[in-house]
Amino acid sequence: MRRACHLSRSLIRASRSLPEEALGAASALLPDAGHVLSVAEARCREDRQQQHSEYASVSQPHLAVTQGWNLLHRNQPVDPFSLVKEEIESVSERLRRSIFTGIPTLRSAAEYFFKMGAEGKRLRPTMLLLMASSLSAYVPSPDFLTVDDRPPNEHPSEERRRQQRIAEITEMIHVASLLHDDVIDNAEVRRGLRALNSVFGNKIAILAGDFLLARASVSLAALRNSDVIQLLSQVIEDLVTGEILQISSTDEDLLSLDYYVRKTFHKTASLMANSAKAVAILGGQSVEVSELAWQYGRHLGLAFQFVDDVLDFTGSTLQLGKPALNDLHSGLATAPVLFAVEEHPQLRAMILRKFKSEGDVELAQQLVFDSNGIQRARDLAAEHASLAAQAVQSMPPAVTEHAMLCRQALTDIAARVLTRKK
């Protein structure tokens, strides 16, 4: 609850840091916004003892702020995903075209997770295009909503096109790492589909991952910006380091939350952090602002993963698109378990033997539910979501109303990550 209130407060601060004239206009249209925020603060205090309910209290004031903006701009609730939906469709289509290869097997494999309906949440490209707009002095021209049909190795000179390429490259790197991880973990299901390795075999899955990395490198090179190339190359290294940290940990590492957070940064947050920074750099932002974009991506990535850890316990296979309790079955002790072990020391031996003894998974699940592990993992996620929101708030004032709206959407994404169900 403490963390959730922290987040609420930071969202409230966000609304307070808005330019006075915008706030005035919002108040005129939505005179109760300030009241809703105060009520939310009070509710936060009241709710301190109430477990498992913070997400509602977080989202209420937040929605109020969002709706204030919506009333100001559109008279309907803002969905951060809908704000860039059309552009995301065009980036997705370009992505499908840019991984074209004349070799049928490779094409089928590479396309597998980019086909319509199999693209996942597209959180990363959405976040990146919102970041681009939130730092821009212009509303993107409709020209940039069409599919950019130039080949991957052709240099795009237009700022927005370059930023779209980062969204595309980021998805390619992300999917490449999923493909290799799934081979390594012998995964059978991903995004509600059979994992690529279980359809095409390990060989093709390894090569399709390599191909996506290679195509990403070619696209990246075409941007001709060394800092950006270096940031995204570092991501690939971080993804590998994260996976290695996961599979080669000592007993001490397995029980360490710090080690777990470090691994999570490498496996999940580095891609979001570095790609967000790349978008800021391509938008001509200063070192300081680019660093705030990095911080936003980092905290969003960490929040995202800690919620993922919780969902592995609380979600169903159908909801998740992958087996529930997948982490325990794979031998992984994630945040909820690492918190729970403080209350139930008998988890220690199970963590070290990677839940491989008969009945381990069920007992570990029970002990986690019979502890504050889930709650503390949620708190940790909420803390990072709040820090993500703070990074956006620390940016210099937005230049256009559209940019303000996009910043609000970035804050909203951080809150939505907490309440997601899959």
CB-CB neighbours of 200 under 10 Å: 19
Quickly list DSSP for 42-84: HHHHHGGG-TT-HHHHHHHHHHHHHHHHHHHHTSS---HHHHT
Position 256 contacts its own copies (CB under 8 A)? no
Member of 27, 38, 51, 105 binding its own copies (CB under 8 A): 105
Position 226 contacts its own copies (CB under 8 A)? yes
Member of 42, 56, 103, 399 binding its own copies (CB under 8 A): 103
Position 206 contacts its own copies (CB under 8 A)? yes
Helix, strand, coil percentages in the chain from 3-state DSSP, rounded to 5:
75, 0, 25
What's the min distance (Å) between Cβ of 270 and its own copies?
11
- Asked whether the CA dihedral 321, 323, 324, 326 is positive or negative, the reply is negative
Position 215 contacts its own copies (CB under 8 A)? yes
With respect to its own copies, which residue has the nearer C-beta, 216 or 382? Answer: 216
Residue 324 — left, alpha, or beta (φ > 0 → left; ψ -120 to 50 → alpha)? beta
Measured distance CA(361)–CA(302) in Å, rounded: 25
What's the min distance (Å) between Cβ of 221 and its own copies?
4
What's the min distance (Å) between Cβ of 187 and its own copies?
13
Measured distance CA(61)–CA(297) in Å, rounded: 23
3-state secondary structure of 320: helix
Of the candidate spans 207-215, 272-280, 381-389, 397-405, the one that interacts with its own copies by CB under 8 A turns out to be 207-215
Position 98 contacts its own copies (CB under 8 A)? no
382, 7 contact by CB (below 8 A): yes
Of the candidate spans 63-71, 205-213, 329-337, 388-396, the one that interacts with its own copies by CB under 8 A turns out to be 205-213
Measured distance CA(199)–CA(187) in Å, rounded: 11
Q: Residue with structure tokens 């397995």?
A: 254
Measured distance CA(307)–CA(327) in Å, rounded: 13
- For 128, counting Cβ atoms within 10 Å of its Cβ (0-12 exposed, 13-18 middle, 19+ buried), the class is buried
Position 207 contacts its own copies (CB under 8 A)? yes
What's the min distance (Å) between Cβ of 35 and its own copies?
52
Query: Restricting to residues 324-383, which ones interact with its own copies according to CB under 8 A?
Result: none
With respect to its own copies, which residue has the nearer C-beta, 124 or 266? Answer: 266
Member of 44, 78, 131, 236 binding its own copies (CB under 8 A): 236
Query: Restricting to residues 159-198, which ones interact with its own copies according to CB under 8 A?
Result: 180, 183-184
Element (H, E) at 36: helix 33-46
3, 383 contact by CB (below 8 A): yes
Q: What are phi and psi of 311, to 5 degrees?
A: -60, -30
Member of 214, 287, 349, 399 binding its own copies (CB under 8 A): 214
With respect to its own copies, which residue has the nearer C-beta, 129 or 332? Answer: 332
What's the min distance (Å) between Cβ of 300 and its own copies?
23
Position 221 contacts its own copies (CB under 8 A)? yes
Position 72 contacts its own copies (CB under 8 A)? no
Q: Which two tokens stand for residue 69?
A: 């903006």
What's the min distance (Å) between Cβ of 244 and its own copies?
5
Please state the separation of Cα 191 from the chain's center in Å: 15
Chain positions contacting its own copies, by CB under 8 A? 101, 103-106, 153, 155, 180, 183-184, 202-204, 206-207, 210-211, 213-215, 217-218, 220-222, 224, 226, 229-230, 233-234, 236-237, 239-241, 243-245, 247-248
